[in-house]
């Protein structure tokens, strides 16, 4: 049994970035000035299933748009740490751990770019990224999903963890 599999067995909390993880990183700008992002329904289903099964799911993102916030609320994600400078993600992360008395070895974080690097390099947490994450992030992560951001990377890590814990669908 691999060390990563054993680490997946201890995960109780998933934390995801938005742009490049829950989305493909594209921001579509309309003539009205509104911007929108596209989410992948398979990722959404896995998030909802994880929450229903008792896992804690949180979001840490520098982006702070009402549409993204509404979508995550529909998915029943309660802990949304959105807005603020990219270089302050670590503060949101550490504050969340402290506030909820979380053990870092029970946390899985998925990020894709340099603003996530400081969190991802923490040795106790299970660090993951999509297949199209920047090289520096891929080099530091415990697990690189074969799926790209916004197209199944989130579902992949949720499935991996839930299968390790024998709580994914059994047919």
- Give the pLDDT of residue 5: 95
Residue 1 banded pLDDT, cuts 50, 70, 90:
low
More confident residue, 77 or 83: 77
Rounded to 5°, the CA angle 156-69-105 comes to 45
Q: In this model, does residue 95 exceed pLDDT 90?
A: yes
Is 19 annotated in some ligand binding site? Answer: yes
Quick one: 126 exposed, middle or buried, by C-beta within 10 A (0-12, 13-18, 19+)? buried
Residue 84 banded pLDDT, cuts 50, 70, 90:
confident
CB 78 within 8 A of CB 55: no
- Give the pLDDT of residue 171: 53
Residue 2 banded pLDDT, cuts 50, 70, 90:
confident
Residue 83 banded pLDDT, cuts 50, 70, 90:
confident
- Give the pLDDT of residue 170: 66
Q: What does the chain come to in residues?
A: 171
Rounded to 5°, the CA angle 171-165-14 comes to 110
Cα–Cα distance between 81 and 97 in angstroms, integer? Answer: 12
Is 87 annotated in some ligand binding site? Answer: no
Both structure tokens of 131: 């297949």
Report the pLDDT averaged over residues 5-29: 94
The CATH number given to 3-165 is: 3.40.50.1000
Reported pTM = 0.94
More confident residue, 134 or 1: 134
Q: In this model, does residue 86 exceed pLDDT 80?
A: no
Q: In this model, does residue 117 exceed pLDDT 70?
A: yes
Cα–Cα distance between 20 and 31 in angstroms, integer? Answer: 23
Three-class DSSP labels, 78-106: CEEEECCCHHHHHHHHHHHHHHCCCCHHH
Task: Round the average pLDDT of the chain to a whole number and report it.
Answer: 93
- Domain chopping of the chain, boundaries: 3-165
Interval 43-80: pLDDT, tens: 999 999 999 999 999 999 988 888 899 999 999 999 99
Q: In this model, does residue 136 exceed pLDDT 70?
A: yes
Is 17 annotated in some ligand binding site? Answer: yes
Report the pLDDT averaged over residues 149-158: 97
Both structure tokens of 42: 């398979």
Phi and psi dihedrals of 108, rounded to 5? Answer: -115, 130
């Amino acid at each position: 049994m691999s060390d990563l599999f054993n680490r997946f067995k201890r995960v109780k909390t998933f934390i995801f970035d938005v742009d490049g993880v829950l989305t493909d990183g594209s921001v579509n700008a309309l003539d009205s000035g509104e911007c929108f992002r596209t989410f992948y329904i398979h990722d959404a289903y896995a998030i909802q299933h994880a929450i229903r099964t008792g896992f804690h799911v949180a979001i840490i993102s520098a982006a702070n748009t009402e549409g993204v916030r509404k979508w995550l609320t529909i998915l029943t994600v309660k802990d949304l740490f959105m807005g603020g400078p990219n270089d302050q993600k670590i503060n949101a992360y550490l504050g969340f751990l402290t506030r909820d008395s979380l053990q870092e070895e029970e946390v899985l974080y998925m990020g894709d770019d340099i603003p996530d690097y400081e969190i991802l390099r923490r040795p106790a947490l299970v660090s993951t990224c999509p297949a199209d994450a920047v090289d520096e992030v891929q080099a530091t992560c415990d697990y690189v999903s074969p799926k790209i951001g916004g197209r199944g990377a989130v579902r992949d890590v949720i499935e991996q963890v839930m299968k390790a814990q024998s709580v994914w669908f059994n047919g």
